[in-house]
Structures are given as structure tokens and as C-alpha cells.
Structure 1
Amino acid sequence: MLIDEEALRCLRKAGKAASQALKSIMCKVHEGMPLTEICEYVENYIRSMGCEPAFPCNISINHVAAHYTSYIGDQSVIPPRSLVKIDVGAHFNGFIADVAASIALSDDYEPLVHASEKALEAAINAIKPGVKISTLGSLIESTIKSFGFKPIRNLSGHMLKQYTLHGEKSIPNVATSSSVSLEVDEVYAIEPFATNGAGLVTDSSEAYIFRYLSPKKAKKFERELLATIWNRFRSLPFCDRWVRDIIPGETLPKLIELSHIGSLYGYHVLVERGRGLVAQSEHTVIVCEDGVEVITSF
């Protein structure tokens, strides 16, 4: 993917919106804070910066690793002494920036957060054209293990393309035998996950985030809903809070129903298999001829 000046401008704009939204909310998170308040603050902040959320704000607490967002009527709040991960995405004209950080509401969790941060730093410092993704995975794994924790081996960083959150290439969090390498002008979200648990995530039964797939099996009125969803979000993820105007009433059950017939993809909430605590750190980078540009620094 060759990045022209316009694409670069869009990426940097999205990166600024996502990183500033995350920075702003991080100093506000506290015990008892409603998760809906966090999600809506982040998403509206991104909009105020002239961008759109690339996906619903993810708030993953303690053993939850990814894919939780607040839903209509959610009464959940930040628990005491918790480990809170906030994952933020913004896009401008479909060009995406993705950034995440962990907030430890207990000093006991600081070493785990530090492990994920240092793993991210090690990976970014090694990025250049031609570096193998296996090298990055090995660096992430060895860094996290040096702190006495485990990387989550079935989660990975991912290539970003216009209106596509997960491209063909991925960045593993462990050493692999892959010979795939990074190329100039590719864009990646690098996101190490560290845990004191089993080092694996598994699907829960819950899904609150969805993505458009196909209208083939939908009924006529459902196809009209799906057409509106496509026009709004293309292939980017969304949640019930964003479509309550076109699906009034039982919004979430309808989205779940559409996922069951293959019209939508439902992202199940991911939990650490051993119920271990999980820390996440993430930045979006552009591979440059002379190294790397981090577009989500804050």
C-alpha cells in the first residue's frame, strides 16, 4: 500500500484524534465511573476532532481482554482496585488509527502494565522495512516474560487499511516461524497483551460489537436496515448505541439475531482463559523508509 500525501494527512489526523481522546479520558477514570460515560466521552471527543470512531470504545476490565463496549442500558461501573484497559479507534475518510492503554487502580498491577508498555516499546524500536513479524513477536514475548508474565499468544497486532481494521498481515505477541516481513508504507496497530494467567483468551457468550457481512439471508425490511448500516460504517465495527435511531426498542437483540443469520459479524467479548489479569498497550505506526512513524503518540 503506497501512502500518498492525502492518505498520510488522514492517518495523522485520525492518530491525533484517537490519542488525544485516550489521553483525555485516562486522567478521568475512577472507581464507580459508569462505563457508558467513558465510551460516550471518548467517541464524542473523536467526533469533536473532526473524525469518526473507527470502532466502539473498548473498556476491558481485569480478566476481560477485549471487545467489551457499553450497550444501551448498561449499568456497569469501574470496580474498585481494578485493571482497566481502554482501546480507542478513530478514522478520517476510512484511514484508521488505533491506540490503547491500561490504567491500574491498584499499585499491585503496575508491573503488569509496565510489561505491556515495555513490550510495545521494544517492538516499535525494531520496526523498519524488511523486519520479520516473527522478530517483533519474539521481542514482545521475551520482554513480557522478563517481567515474570506471559504474552497472550492468540491475540495479535494487525495491519490497517482504508475502512479495514484487520488487514492480511498480523503482528504476533509470541515468537513464530513466519517469514513474512514489513514493507514501506504499511500501517500497523502493534498491541502487546500481558497476563499473569494462562496466556490465552477464549470467547465468552456475550457480543456487543458488530460488523457488516452480507444481506443474503436477511428479510426485506432487514435489508433496508443493513443498507443503512453499510452506508454509515462500511466494514468498520459498530454497536447498538450507534444504531438505536434505525432499530428502536430492542436494538441489541436485533443485532444478535442478524449475526446469527450471517448478516452481521458479532465480536464476542474475549476473556483470559485462566481468569488472569490482562494489561494492554497499543500504538499505530507507519513503516517508513528510514524506520517508523508513530501516529498515536501522546
Structure 2
Amino acid sequence: MAFAVVLVVIFALFVIDAAGREAYDWPTVAKYVFDRRISMAAFNTLQLTVYSMIIAIILGVTLAIMRLSPNPVVKSVAWFYLWIFRGTPVYVQLVFWGLIAIIYQTIDIGIPFMEPWVSFDTKVALNTFTLAIIGLSLNEAAYMAEIVRAGLLSVDRGQEEAATALGMSWFQTMRRVIIPQAMRVIIPPTGNEVISMLKTTSLVTAVPFSLELYGRSRDISAETFNPIPLLIVASIWYLAFTSVLMIGQYFLEKRFARGVGDRRPDRKGDDLTGVAPAVGVDKPTVVLPPNESGGH
């Protein structure tokens, strides 16, 4: 109790001190928190997060299934992808994507080593917003692949054997049996990855794309020569988005946790019903909960 009081006092002192600090410049924070440029930048940040995560989840599921494939070539390709994108920093990857037009001046479609059917100028075909999405999604797919693979491995092997006995192919077993059951394990870390992706969008200035939340607030602070209030403005928007995502993650986890009675703290192990064989008796014995069997 005393420790809790000390924490409350420390927090109150911090708030009082922050309220009086001139460096925070709260009037400027209030001025820019709903500024149109900041609002549009926040919308761009949401777009980057949503588009990148959709692509990353689709690609991550594909890579996870490839890693679990019995084909050694398919498994090796997936492993190599994860080795590259998990082994290098996302900022470095984004810088490379920003320089892609120097590495590949054109995007050619056709048969390799022959005259291309169609050719596009890379700078025209891929703008910085698109490159930011590609860089973020390809990096995130490597982590999503491991999350999905862990979820798939958490499903009892007997489920796969039963599906095989029913005549299902490997891909049918994955799609109809394994993946639906693995969602309970996959959802919580995926929610964390979405929140992490929201904050990772602040690195797309490496592409360079500067119309997201952090980049825009930095540009405005360069005009006002007052960076601290604009950093607070960006932090407020990030906190608002992450708070909504955390609430959504909670209800999503609750949705996929339905039916998992043995892991619910409100379920008691002795509240069991069913039919069990009785030793030395020809007929089975019905097991009732304590309140229906007189408490015995």
C-alpha cells in the first residue's frame, strides 16, 4: 500500500512539473494537435500500417506453410527469405528500397534474357508511398511467418493425422483443420505486431517518405524552430491509435479464446459432467457436477 502511494505521489509530481515547464509549450501543442497537416499525416500513417500488415500477413502465412512443407526446395526458399529480412535492420532495408530506382532503372515484364514485352520506368511506376509499403510489408512478413509457424506447430499432430485419414491433402488439412485451430495462438502476437508496425512507420523517412506522422511533425518543427511540442503532438496521435488497437486486440483474443475452458480462470476443474465407465459394473456411470449430486 505504501509503495502504491509513493508511485501516485511521484506521478502527480511529474504531471505538475510537466504542466509548468516552458519547454513543453502546451499552447503550441494545443495549436497543432488537430492541425490539418498533422491530421492528414496521421491518416497516411494508418494507411501505411493497414496496407503493410495486410500484405505481411498474407505473405507470412505463405512463408510459414512453405517452411512446414515436406518439399526441401520450398522449405529452403522460405528459410532464405527469413534469414535475409530478419537478419538486416528495417531501416537499412528501407534505404535500399529508396535507392531501388538506381539499382533497377526499369521494370521489365517478359521472358528472361529476351526483349521485354513491357517496360516501365521505376521512378514513375513506384512512388515513395508504394516503396514504403513494400519495404515495411516484406520485413514484417518474415516475423509474421514465424508467428504463424509457431501457431501451426501448437496444433496437436493428431489433428493432421485425422485429416489425412479422411482423405484430405496437405493443403486442405492446413486450410480447413490446422490454421483455424492455430488462430488462438496467432492472434495475440499479431496484435502486438500491428502496434509495432504503427510505430515503425516513423522510419519510412529513409525511403524517403515524409508525409507520415513523425515526418510531418518534424517538418513543421523545422519551420517553427520548436521541436518539443511537435514531438508531443506526434506522441499523442500514436498513443491514441495504439490505445484503439489494444482494445481491438483484447476483444479479438476473447473471440478466438472461446471454448478453451481448461484455460479459463473462472472454470473449476471439478465441474465436470459426462459419462465414465465404472470399474466392475456393466453399465457406465453418469458424472454430475457437485450441485446436482448433493455436493459429493
TM-score by structure 2 length? 0.24
By percentage of residues, which structure has more helix? 2
TM-score by structure 1 length? 0.24
By percentage of residues, which structure has more strand? 1
Instruction: Work out which of the two has the higher radius of gyration on C-alpha atoms and give 1 or 2.
Output: 2
